[in-house]
Structure 1
Amino acid sequence: MMTYIGCLNFVFVLMLTTSFADPSPPTAFLKDYDSYMKVCHRLNCKQRKETIAFHANFKGHLKNVPVNTIIKFDNVQLNKGKGYDPTTGVFTAPEDGLYSFDWLFLAAKDGSVYLFAMVDGTIRVKTCIHKQQSVHISTTGHLVTELKKGSKVWIKTSSEAKFIHGGLYNYFSGFKIN
């Protein structure tokens, strides 16, 4: 199977070789281009899709977060493909594929934070910090999953979280692998 770039190179070489042999008007060039693209299509060339990736964190600290609260990472630093919605904290898959998600959070001394990664309402990964004893401690989670277009992924609390550090000490990110 030829890649999209490979097809474009193929088309470009064909166009160059024919344009030197036959100096035709621009309409003929466009007709030739269309014909060459049809050849690429018959060769089953795959066109590269838009990148799907996001990375977000929340600015302020979160305090006394109730159980079953979706964490809204409202400071979006990257949102290619527009899959992540900072107003809801939910990523919606723009297309079918294999996706990777990561998250990180930091808790304060004597704090406990239990977070679940949810896919379409089902718990897929559990992460926690339980009554940690140092001044601050962080933990991360990772999920690789196959999603259908419209599938939703979010991070939520599974118990009350007394304190989650804001700023660059937290994030939720994801991208489409293929």
Structure 2
Amino acid sequence: MFLGPCAGLLTLLNVVSTLQLDENSPCSGLGCRKTVSMPLLDQMKGNLKADFDVSEMNQLLKVYIDQEIRSGVEIGMKNSVDNMINSRMQQVQQEAASVIDKNMSRYISDFESKMTKLKQDNEKELNEMKKVSKKYAFFATLSSSHDNLPANTVVMFDTVSLNEGDAYDGTTGKFTCPEDGLYHFSWTTVSNARKDFVSVLVANDRKIAENAVDSDSVSDGMTGTSNVIVRMRNGQKAWLAVSSSDGKQLRNSWNGSPCSMFSGFKL
């Protein structure tokens, strides 16, 4: 057994095998040979030569190396593809989140805007309904009769039996317009025989119409009634006043019931 030369041979074969493993490629040199010649030296100092067939070993090494290379390439490509996919997935997720945030912000803003407008519209309609349903009306009579009232004196109908909307004040005898619109006023006055009483409706600081009870030439009491429709604005006032000097007598009742009265309402 010659272990020394054999150990050297293995080293040499490893070097030769790594130099050329593809038999189909054109090449020259020791690495392309199917056999390797190795000079040997025996104990008798004679020169010997041994030929080793390495073709099968080359093929095995080639298959092994091909497998390793293919495995490495596959792993590398898989890792590369995984990284690309993960990177693209992160990018897509970020873009999707950004789009969702923008869309949600726009949707929320649109929804809040629509809800605000709807609330405003509802409040407006509710206010209009309140205006339509709101009633203004009053009815007042006298608690006592009046004699010899001076000209332009406000006649205070101080017994208020109806005051829907609280627009009439029995302590002043004046109606205050609560909102713009058309208003109907009616008043009736009664005086005794030979006692005239002429009244006038004043609205918007203008004399609108008079009601004359001319009983100075008759022997019985008389009555008179007038009705007017006036356009008024919010805050303007209306009242009854004595016209000229004809405020001689105004009765408050007849046979125990009110007979002189003042009323009004919004059309």
Q: With the length of structure 1 as denominator, give the TM-score of the two structures.
A: 0.73
Aligned residue among 181, 184, 195 for 1:111: 195
What count of residue pairs does the alignment treat as equivalent? 143
After TM superposition, the structure 1 = structure 2 runs for residues 121-160 of structure 1, keeping only pairs within 5 Å, are: 121-130=205-214, 131-158=216-243, 159-160=245-246
Aligned residue among 119, 142, 164 for 1:80: 164
1:166 maps to amino acid: N
Larger gyration radius, structure 1 or structure 2? 2
| Misfit runs of 4+, over 3 Å | 37-46
Aligned residue among 61, 68, 80 for 2:152: 68
1:140 maps to amino acid: T
Matched, 1:166 2:252: yes
2:168 maps to amino acid: Y
Identity %: 30
CA contact (8 A) 1:108 1:132 kept: no
Task: Report SS of the residue matched to 2:129.
Answer: coil
CA contact (8 A) 1:99 1:175 kept: yes
Match of 1:28 in 2: none
Measured against aligned partners, the alpha-carbon deviations of 1:138-160 in whole angstroms (never above 9, x if no partner) come to 10011101110001100000124
Match of 1:26 in 2: none
Measured against aligned partners, the alpha-carbon deviations of 1:87-114 in whole angstroms (never above 9, x if no partner) come to 1111000111111000001011011111
Cα shift at 1:43? 10
Q: Counting strand residues as a fraction of each chain, which structure ranks higher? A: 1
2:130 maps to amino acid: R
Match of 1:48 in 2: 130
Match of 2:5 in 1: none
Task: Report SS of the residue matched to 1:48.
Answer: helix
Match of 2:141 in 1: 57
Task: Report SS of the residue matched to 1:71.
Answer: coil
Instruction: Specify whether residues 143 and 132 from structure 1 end up closer, same or farther in structure 2 by C-alpha distance, changes over 3 A only.
Output: farther
Match of 2:175 in 1: 91
